[in-house]
Structure 1
Amino acid sequence: MAAPSTKDAKAASPTTDPKLGILKAEKAELQAGGGSAADAQKARTVESLNSTFSTYLKTLYEDVEKKYKLESKEGLAEWLADEQQAPAVDAEILKEGSFSHFANYFTSGAGNAMKPAEAVDGSWPISNYFISSSHNTYLTGNQLASAASVDAYKNVLKRGCRCVEVDVWDGEPPSDSDSSSDEEAQKTSGSGEKEVKKEKKSLRKRLELRFGRKASPPPKETPKATSPPPPAVEQRIAPWRSNSSSRAEPRVLHGYTLTKEMSFREVCQTIRDYAFASSNLPLIVSLEVHTSPEQQEIMVELMKEYWGGMLVDLPLDPSEASDQIKLPTLKDLENKILVKVKRVSHEPVAAAAKPTTLQAPAELTPQQTNQSGQSEISSDSDEVGTSSEKPPPPKPKVIEALSKLGVYFGGYHYKGLDGPEANIPTHVFSLSEKTLMEVHETNPTALFKHNKNFFMRAYPKGLRVTSSNLNPTIFWRQGVQIVALNWQRWDGGMMQNEAMFAGTAGWVLKPEGYRGTSSGTTPKDAIEHHNLDLSIEFLAGQDIPLPPEEDDPKDFKPYIKVELHVEKLEEGVGEPIPGGGASNKGDYKKKTRTARTTNPDFGREIVEFKGVKRVTEELTFVR
């Protein structure tokens, strides 16, 4: 594996990439992307209007006053109902309908163009909802060399995220057992193993020279030659039973990269403190487990210790058989933490076989990873396929005590939509964007049918080292409930996430045709489609912050770009989707003229879209 180029490293740096920001916990609830900002009053208010805005607003007021007679209670109520589609309570802000109160109405945030989100109907089984979800939540920046921080968890939870990801690796064992096991492995390994270690050291050295700090050491692999004898019982890591700092504990990091780490204990504590800071609806913790059985026991211990009273560790209905547990309704899980983790399989391991077209490549060794320092199959083990030559080195198996915590979210290796695991009510398949597009192209009807009743999670491909995002609307329109996005980046993907979840508590009920009770077989016939004529009139802007690279307002050239994110024809009929969901650009684009000030006057310029087809109210977005 070659080290990333200087160009790649520069592109991934927050200092050179304005869309990639360090996640901070302070005032995170005012930061857009997860939907909570639209529900925060302070994020929607304006203290005053400049003269340009005031002039336009005065003209608009005079037009409205002539038509509705705002100074009468009847006229005011009619305007609010017909044109604003606003609640009657807004009349309290407008009072007697004077211009000053008319201006107050818009500066207060009540005049927001977006109508308030409807209260969520929590009576449906949880597979009938879209869920505001994060990918590699622990990272504060790019996927290659950023830090892991609890502030990242605080940030997304305060912004309304309802599914966070935690990649867990073994903590550093005591130095004596660590050195002894290394010596034993060297004695029993062949020369090939020595070459592998030499190559790994060389790789880490190159990355250190490139980025100026040490790479996180990968977990020890099973030697290709004769395996060393198992360590004595007293050398093994015992389950956590005290607060002793000398005992090794699991850590959270992005494996095979230069990202910094933090302790799993810190993450558990932070999730406990902020899980329901913005929402009382359930929080899903998606675990990616790379730890040994001993450290998995510590994981179970810590989760139960910190999440006691919130953690769902048993079915709500104890009478249900383990393989027939039904998904509960959303309202049954308020203020609960749900764990998504790979489920223990009691079936014998099958012989090595060639992967099908719907399987990802075999698990890659550190020497086979790509330029990003990670495997192209990302960090999600649920999609790992099998090698056509030899089985890959065995990954640590998930112990039963940990697997049991995945009561309603049991991860299974994806083999197809017709396998026995695809009918287990509590299963979840995690697929990369590329693999999910393959499934869409080969079996779209089965994909849509599956997602009406069972959980699926989509995540960005591993090559997105700058934390760029996929196009979430394409995956929502396939019925995928959990579309995991990199909340570190402010791009079109996160803007669409804001549009989906604005003003909600992070769970949005799917359109009727997408639910388990619907007879719809494809997105094309599951939801009503319309043609759209849209016009937007722009008045002015005020106090627009200068970008970091600008220091003179005269050099600043603001304009407004409008994009429509509309279902493509190929999405509804199972044909290859142009771009495969990789780009989050809109299909229809227009922009206003450019100004040269931080207080632009757009002169009531109108941007129009005529005859837009395949528009759905719930799954079409204006950006």
Structure 2
Amino acid sequence: MAAPPPTDAKAASPAKDPKLGVPKAEKAELQAGGGSAAEAQKARTVESLNSTLSTYLKTLYEEVEKKYKLGSKQGLAEWLADEQQAPAVDAEILKDGSFSHFANYFTSGTGNAMKPAEAVDGSWPISNYFISSSHNTYLTGNQLASAASVDAYKNVLKRGCRCVEVDVWDGEPPSDSESSSDEEAQKTSGSGVKEKVKKEKKSLRKRLELRFGRKASPPPKETPKAASPPPPAAEQRIAPWRSNSSSRAEPRVLHGYTLTKEMSFREVCQTIRDYAFASSNLPLIVSLEVHTSPAQQEIMVELMKEYWRGMLVDLPLDPSEASEQIKLPTLKDLENKILVKVKRVSHKPIAAAAKPATLQAPAQLTPQQTNESAQSEISSDSEDAGVAPEKPPAPKPKVIDALSKLGVYFGGYHYKGLDVPEANIPTHVFSLSEKTLMEVHETSPAALFKHNKNFFMRAYPKGLRVTSSNLNPAIFWRQGVQIVALNWQRWDGGMMQNEAMFAGTAGWVLKPEGYRGASSGTLPKDAIEHHNLDLSIEFLAGQDIPLPPEEDDPKDFKPYIKVELHVEKPEEGEAEAIPGGGASNKGDYKKKTRTAKTTNPDFGREIVEFKGVKRVTEELTFVRFKVMDDERISDDLAAWACFRLDRLQPGIRMLHLYDSNGVVSKGVLLVRIKKTVSKA
């Protein structure tokens, strides 16, 4: 059994982990995620310039004026075209080319280092896009002991996420007396499934508590019913479920076999209804992980149809198409629609004993593995992985027809290979953990790339990432995977790259031409042109740099800038094992500046250069800037920015920063960027 990554092994608890942030619904649109945060123009302006920035801008103006004569229309146009590589319309804000208008060009946001996103072309079938996606959306912290909250859904939807995940389990009966007859009937029938699961769950919980040193209250099913909370305000109240069986339990949402807390599926449905299109009119995918009984699945269907009425796609757009030949619609066809991803019903006979379905099926634990099992493949998507209890778990409930039919364009299938019949069903989707995907990349690279040009695939973090760390999404985007699910509550390189990919978009980004279904490329290395890169960043000064979480005195702040390039590795194009299995989201090339002082640092025009970087694809290469606090033991992250290479604009630029919790800050860096991309 593989050991967990070092960063996860050292983590103690969410309270002591500065990279974990409880999602907040208030002003979530100013938090990174790839949606509205990048479009908040007011947050991208600079109200005033400190003396250091003003001095440097004056110096730069004199240099540019001497070379281009900004006072003339021709000189202004030449500077914009040559150095800034900016549209001619920018001349309107520069007006007469005086210094005051030159400074206004940068303070107004026009001189932003981030190139504005182009409007998405919605004419392609939906498998031709990358989709901003969340993993275990309901969790507010780590994967083992955090709470579930509807605020987590509000948060990611307001930030531009277009694929959310919901793990659904059987709800608690209204009272012991009402459920006792059902339990007794179940015991006398000889099934004993509930009791068996209870014991396994209890045993695993004990092991989790021993492993992580935390005592938590037992899962809801094992506790006396708590007093009801005060009723919500009338306008927030959820309408009661309309059914003659109102005494039945309702489904709940939680991370099964862990210490995480729960919430009701009804609350999640209401929140999705209210916020699905808060930041984007492009379709929202709801990825269901179903652990509920058939009776509870009926309630799920009832709730989704009730709350998402008018938005839910529950029938093909063209009802004349045969079920297994339904074609994927275009993106434009699905505006303001909710799409359900759910396991598709298989009408084959159920095997007498549960068998491993994928490359990461649960394994029998040995005594030596007992302590490790708490951190083993704890995944929300059991199509590919799951926690391994001491005894084989009860078979997962079969998805009923009524629920399965809601997966009109996203029918989930167990991954058994890329040459099986279901791999050619236009509306199928395979969900694989990062570990399994790396194995497929090594064994069937051409088949993997061909599949992902036409059909959906979803990648999610392996279960060892118990502290909600993220995989490196760029590796999977470069394999053509459309849905790369990330833990949005953690601020690491994975989420920073996600911001760069989707910044200022509506959460769906058209793939590079060679990655689309109409292209003839057989592997990423020949599907898209690769280039060589020379990149130079001159750092002049900074202003209003946010302090790291544990720092409160600007005089003690010693910032330096670390620049990282995330570039395709040679192994990615050659179908070889990727170093580290793609687990790390750190940059492939790293350089840093000298250390400066205070929140208004002077970097003295220091230049950081990357020369002759190979295998660069501009749409799938990322440049990350991290402002670090120089400490004796461990340097803390104070602020950051991340760019897709094709959207990092050259010239004199204001580089706007997010703070360490991913919130737009007033912090800026004045930089001068030179970028040369040439044929390999």
Superposition TM-score, scaled by structure 1 size: 0.89
Q: Judge conservation of contact 1:355–1:388 (CA < 8 Å) in 2.
A: no
Identify if the C-alpha distance between structure 1 residues 422 and 187 changes in structure 2 by more than 3 Å, giving closer, same or farther: closer
Q: Secondary structure at the match of 1:618?
A: helix
* Deviation at residue 417 of structure 1 after TM alignment: 0.4
Partner Cα distance (1:167, 1:426) in 2: 21
- Residues 206-239 of structure 1 deviation map (CA, whole Å, 9 limit, x = unaligned): 7679989875867999999999999999999999
Identify if the C-alpha distance between structure 1 residues 411 and 202 changes in structure 2 by more than 3 Å, giving closer, same or farther: closer
Partner Cα distance (2:74, 2:131) in 1: 41
Q: Secondary structure at the match of 2:185?
A: helix
Q: Judge conservation of contact 1:86–1:115 (CA < 8 Å) in 2.
A: no
* Deviation at residue 103 of structure 1 after TM alignment: 1.2
Partner Cα distance (2:24, 2:228) in 1: 45
Partner Cα distance (1:178, 1:2) in 2: 45
Partner Cα distance (2:498, 2:325) in 1: 33
Partner Cα distance (1:241, 1:518) in 2: 49
* Deviation at residue 65 of structure 1 after TM alignment: 1.8
Identify if the C-alpha distance between structure 1 residues 194 and 295 changes in structure 2 by more than 3 Å, giving closer, same or farther: closer
Partner Cα distance (2:230, 2:505) in 1: 55
Q: Judge conservation of contact 2:165–2:288 (CA < 8 Å) in 1.
A: yes
Q: Judge conservation of contact 2:292–2:397 (CA < 8 Å) in 1.
A: yes
Identify if the C-alpha distance between structure 1 residues 225 and 356 changes in structure 2 by more than 3 Å, giving closer, same or farther: farther
Aligned to 2:588: 587
Aligned to 2:410: 409
Identical aligned residues as a percent? 93
* Deviation at residue 180 of structure 1 after TM alignment: 2.0
* Deviation at residue 253 of structure 1 after TM alignment: 1.0
Identify if the C-alpha distance between structure 1 residues 57 and 9 changes in structure 2 by more than 3 Å, giving closer, same or farther: same
* Deviation at residue 56 of structure 1 after TM alignment: 0.6
Partner Cα distance (2:532, 2:162) in 1: 33
Partner Cα distance (1:35, 1:383) in 2: 29
Q: Judge conservation of contact 2:357–2:415 (CA < 8 Å) in 1.
A: no
Identify if the C-alpha distance between structure 1 residues 455 and 207 changes in structure 2 by more than 3 Å, giving closer, same or farther: closer
Q: Judge conservation of contact 2:277–2:336 (CA < 8 Å) in 1.
A: yes
Partner Cα distance (1:542, 1:13) in 2: 33
Identify if the C-alpha distance between structure 1 residues 312 and 399 changes in structure 2 by more than 3 Å, giving closer, same or farther: same
Identify if the C-alpha distance between structure 1 residues 281 and 268 changes in structure 2 by more than 3 Å, giving closer, same or farther: same
Comparing 293-302 with 28-37, greater Cα deviation is found at 28-37
- Residues 500-559 of structure 1 deviation map (CA, whole Å, 9 limit, x = unaligned): 111111111111111111111111111100111111111111122222222332332211
* Deviation at residue 42 of structure 1 after TM alignment: 2.4
- Residues 340-398 of structure 1 deviation map (CA, whole Å, 9 limit, x = unaligned): 00001111234669759845346999999875747615121222599999985221111
- Residues 402-450 of structure 1 deviation map (CA, whole Å, 9 limit, x = unaligned): 1111000000011000001100000000000001101111111111110
* Deviation at residue 247 of structure 1 after TM alignment: 4.7
* Deviation at residue 73 of structure 1 after TM alignment: 3.0
Comparing 596-605 with 92-101, greater Cα deviation is found at 92-101
Q: Judge conservation of contact 2:200–2:391 (CA < 8 Å) in 1.
A: no
Partner Cα distance (1:43, 1:269) in 2: 30
**Structure 2, unpaired ranges of 5+:** 624-680
Q: Secondary structure at the match of 1:613?
A: strand
Alignment of 1:49-64 (within 5 A): 49-64=49-64
Comparing 163-172 with 198-207, greater Cα deviation is found at 198-207
Q: Judge conservation of contact 2:430–2:458 (CA < 8 Å) in 1.
A: yes
Partner Cα distance (2:250, 2:80) in 1: 58
Comparing 217-226 with 323-332, greater Cα deviation is found at 217-226
Q: Secondary structure at the match of 1:430?
A: strand
Comparing 221-230 with 488-497, greater Cα deviation is found at 221-230
- Residues 170-209 of structure 1 deviation map (CA, whole Å, 9 limit, x = unaligned): 1111323565268638965999999986675465467679
Comparing 74-83 with 214-223, greater Cα deviation is found at 214-223
Q: Secondary structure at the match of 2:287?
A: strand
Alignment of 1:490-569 (within 5 A): 490-569=491-570
Q: Secondary structure at the match of 1:43?
A: helix
* Deviation at residue 7 of structure 1 after TM alignment: 11
Partner Cα distance (1:124, 1:191) in 2: 49
Q: Judge conservation of contact 1:355–1:387 (CA < 8 Å) in 2.
A: no
Identify if the C-alpha distance between structure 1 residues 204 and 525 changes in structure 2 by more than 3 Å, giving closer, same or farther: closer
Partner Cα distance (2:102, 2:91) in 1: 10
Q: Judge conservation of contact 2:205–2:257 (CA < 8 Å) in 1.
A: no
Q: Judge conservation of contact 2:4–2:464 (CA < 8 Å) in 1.
A: no
* Deviation at residue 113 of structure 1 after TM alignment: 1.2
Identify if the C-alpha distance between structure 1 residues 3 and 540 changes in structure 2 by more than 3 Å, giving closer, same or farther: closer
Identify if the C-alpha distance between structure 1 residues 387 and 110 changes in structure 2 by more than 3 Å, giving closer, same or farther: closer
Identify if the C-alpha distance between structure 1 residues 334 and 201 changes in structure 2 by more than 3 Å, giving closer, same or farther: closer
* Deviation at residue 488 of structure 1 after TM alignment: 0.3
Partner Cα distance (2:10, 2:375) in 1: 18
Q: Judge conservation of contact 2:238–2:267 (CA < 8 Å) in 1.
A: no
Q: Judge conservation of contact 2:293–2:397 (CA < 8 Å) in 1.
A: yes
Comparing 537-546 with 205-214, greater Cα deviation is found at 205-214
* Deviation at residue 101 of structure 1 after TM alignment: 1.6
Aligned to 2:482: 481
- Residues 235-290 of structure 1 deviation map (CA, whole Å, 9 limit, x = unaligned): 99999425998652111111111211111111111111111111111111101111
Q: Secondary structure at the match of 2:604?
A: strand
- Residues 117-172 of structure 1 deviation map (CA, whole Å, 9 limit, x = unaligned): 11111111100110010001111111111111111111111111110111111111
* Deviation at residue 45 of structure 1 after TM alignment: 1.6
Partner Cα distance (1:480, 1:43) in 2: 32
Comparing 374-383 with 503-512, greater Cα deviation is found at 374-383
Identify if the C-alpha distance between structure 1 residues 593 and 444 changes in structure 2 by more than 3 Å, giving closer, same or farther: same
Comparing 291-300 with 365-374, greater Cα deviation is found at 365-374
Identify if the C-alpha distance between structure 1 residues 26 and 600 changes in structure 2 by more than 3 Å, giving closer, same or farther: same
* Deviation at residue 33 of structure 1 after TM alignment: 2.9
Aligned to 1:143: 143
Partner Cα distance (2:228, 2:24) in 1: 45
Partner Cα distance (1:559, 1:233) in 2: 52
Q: Secondary structure at the match of 1:483?
A: strand
Residue-pair matches, total: 622
Alignment of 1:256-267 (within 5 A): 256-267=257-268
Q: Judge conservation of contact 1:537–1:607 (CA < 8 Å) in 2.
A: yes
Identify if the C-alpha distance between structure 1 residues 246 and 212 changes in structure 2 by more than 3 Å, giving closer, same or farther: farther
* Deviation at residue 85 of structure 1 after TM alignment: 3.0
Q: Judge conservation of contact 2:130–2:483 (CA < 8 Å) in 1.
A: yes
Identify if the C-alpha distance between structure 1 residues 150 and 365 changes in structure 2 by more than 3 Å, giving closer, same or farther: farther
Q: Judge conservation of contact 1:359–1:415 (CA < 8 Å) in 2.
A: no
Comparing 610-619 with 170-179, greater Cα deviation is found at 170-179
Identify if the C-alpha distance between structure 1 residues 455 and 123 changes in structure 2 by more than 3 Å, giving closer, same or farther: same
Partner Cα distance (1:6, 1:401) in 2: 44
Identify if the C-alpha distance between structure 1 residues 325 and 594 changes in structure 2 by more than 3 Å, giving closer, same or farther: same
Comparing 585-594 with 259-268, greater Cα deviation is found at 259-268
Aligned to 2:445: 444
Aligned to 1:305: 306
Comparing 409-418 with 90-99, greater Cα deviation is found at 90-99
Q: Judge conservation of contact 2:354–2:395 (CA < 8 Å) in 1.
A: no
- Residues 476-503 of structure 1 deviation map (CA, whole Å, 9 limit, x = unaligned): 0000000000000110001111111111
* Deviation at residue 96 of structure 1 after TM alignment: 2.1
Identify if the C-alpha distance between structure 1 residues 269 and 243 changes in structure 2 by more than 3 Å, giving closer, same or farther: farther
Q: More strand by proportion, 1 or 2?
A: 2
Identify if the C-alpha distance between structure 1 residues 307 and 364 changes in structure 2 by more than 3 Å, giving closer, same or farther: farther
* Deviation at residue 309 of structure 1 after TM alignment: 0.9
Partner Cα distance (1:527, 1:73) in 2: 39
Identify if the C-alpha distance between structure 1 residues 377 and 78 changes in structure 2 by more than 3 Å, giving closer, same or farther: same
Partner Cα distance (1:608, 1:103) in 2: 26
Partner Cα distance (1:47, 1:224) in 2: 54
Q: Secondary structure at the match of 1:58?
A: helix
Identify if the C-alpha distance between structure 1 residues 175 and 109 changes in structure 2 by more than 3 Å, giving closer, same or farther: same
Comparing 492-501 with 537-546, greater Cα deviation is found at 537-546
**Structure 1, unpaired ranges of 5+:** none
Q: Judge conservation of contact 1:560–1:591 (CA < 8 Å) in 2.
A: yes
Q: Judge conservation of contact 1:469–1:493 (CA < 8 Å) in 2.
A: yes
Q: Judge conservation of contact 2:469–2:492 (CA < 8 Å) in 1.
A: yes
Q: Judge conservation of contact 1:280–1:335 (CA < 8 Å) in 2.
A: yes
Q: Judge conservation of contact 1:344–1:403 (CA < 8 Å) in 2.
A: yes
Q: Judge conservation of contact 1:177–1:235 (CA < 8 Å) in 2.
A: no
Partner Cα distance (2:441, 2:606) in 1: 41
